[in-house]
């Protein structure tokens, strides 16, 4: 069976989300230069590389040292490939991007391998150290933050990044619980949240929004996304494509608004003079794309994925 044009068996262990739509959106040309800012386990990167000729170049980035190890092991010997460990927010600081890019891919959020390994601390369904850092060698862990932040700060994070309506109740319970014993395990946090959440008919685990919020905050995901979109636009050549896969509304809203800001003139006020005429630098290619039924049948994690593709149509002022 094929999924998005690739054999299901070939993707055992990792299914690149919306594979066919991403490659179609990037519109890869053989001698182009493409950047995968979230390598993960390289599913999309392999697809790009297969379409590149000897003059083409693939640049890959990731914050996760395990992902970089996979990239170096599988692609390190290919002279067309360059590898950089770091956030895609830093892509403009990488000399390899200075000559311009024909395409940029950002596959946001946590990867399947990160979710599946309990020791990374991303999943409330697998007990492990309460870490959640995409780069476990940088910054503070989720446990360190939860054990020291004040109640208001915790509530604000849960509400802002998880849209959790019970944020104050959960934050109060976290502070009370850590006074008895500091948090160290994902199961401890998940069980506490479940114990204080009202029982409804929701099919999602009571800790889902809180784990999402803490992960986003710990990894500065939304700030990195805003910086990365600006950097990608600056490095894209005219005609280059930007493809972004997001997995929740906060990310998708940022991407949607970014594309609209650079593609559409802002609403005018007839009472005020037009100071500067608007010149679009992006064209919205796709709108919001979703995974099809065939992909969802073999990769349920694609259910919440939204792909947006834009094309650069002029130089940035």
For the annotated binding site for S-adenosyl-L-methionine, the residues are 42-44, 62, 88, 107, 114
Q: Which two tokens stand for residue 212?
A: 């999402």
Write the CA distances from 222 to 91, 98, 195, integer angstroms: 16, 24, 29
Q: Which two tokens stand for residue 186?
A: 């994902």
Annotated binding site: 42-44, 62, 88, 107, 114
For the chain, the residue count is 317
Q: Is the dihedral of CA 143, 144, 149, 154 positive or negative?
A: negative
Residue with tokens 């360190």: 144
């Amino acid at each position: 069976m094929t999924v998005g044009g690739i054999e299901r068996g070939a993707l055992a262990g990792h299914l690149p989300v919306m594979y066919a739509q991403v490659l179609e959106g990037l519109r890869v040309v053989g001698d182009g230069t493409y950047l995968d800012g979230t390598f993960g386990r390289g599913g999309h990167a392999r697809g790009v590389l297969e379409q590149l000729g000897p003059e083409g170049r693939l640049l890959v980035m990731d914050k996760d040292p395990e992902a970089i190890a996979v990239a170096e092991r599988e692609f390190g010997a290919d002279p067309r490939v360059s590898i950089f460990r770091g956030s895609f927010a830093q892509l403009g600081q990488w000399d390899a991007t200075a000559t311009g890019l024909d395409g940029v891919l950002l596959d946001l959020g946590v990867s399947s391998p990160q979710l599946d390994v309990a020791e990374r601390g991303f999943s409330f369904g697998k007990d492990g150290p309460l870490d959640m850092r995409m780069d476990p060698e940088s910054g503070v862990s989720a446990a360190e933050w939860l054990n020291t932040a004040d109640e208001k700060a915790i509530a604000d994070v849960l509400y802002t990044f998880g849209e959790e309506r019970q944020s104050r109740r959960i934050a109060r319970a976290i502070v009370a619980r850590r006074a008895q014993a500091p948090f160290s395990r994902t199961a401890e946090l998940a069980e506490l949240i479940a114990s204080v959440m009202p029982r409804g008919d929701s099919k999602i685990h009571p800790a889902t929004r809180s784990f999402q919020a803490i992960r986003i905050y710990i990894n500065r995901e939304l700030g990195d996304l805003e910086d990365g979109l600006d950097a990608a636009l600056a490095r894209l050549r005219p005609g280059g494509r930007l493809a972004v896969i997001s997995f929740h509304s906060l990310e998708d809203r940022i991407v949607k608004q970014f594309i609209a800001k650079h593609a559409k003139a802002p609403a005018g006020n007839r009472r005020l003079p037009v100071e500067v005429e608007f010149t679009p630098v992006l064209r919205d290619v796709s709108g919001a794309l979703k995974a099809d039924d065939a992909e969802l049948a073999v990769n349920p994690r694609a259910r919440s994925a939204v792909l947006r593709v834009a094309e650069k149509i002029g130089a940035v002022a």
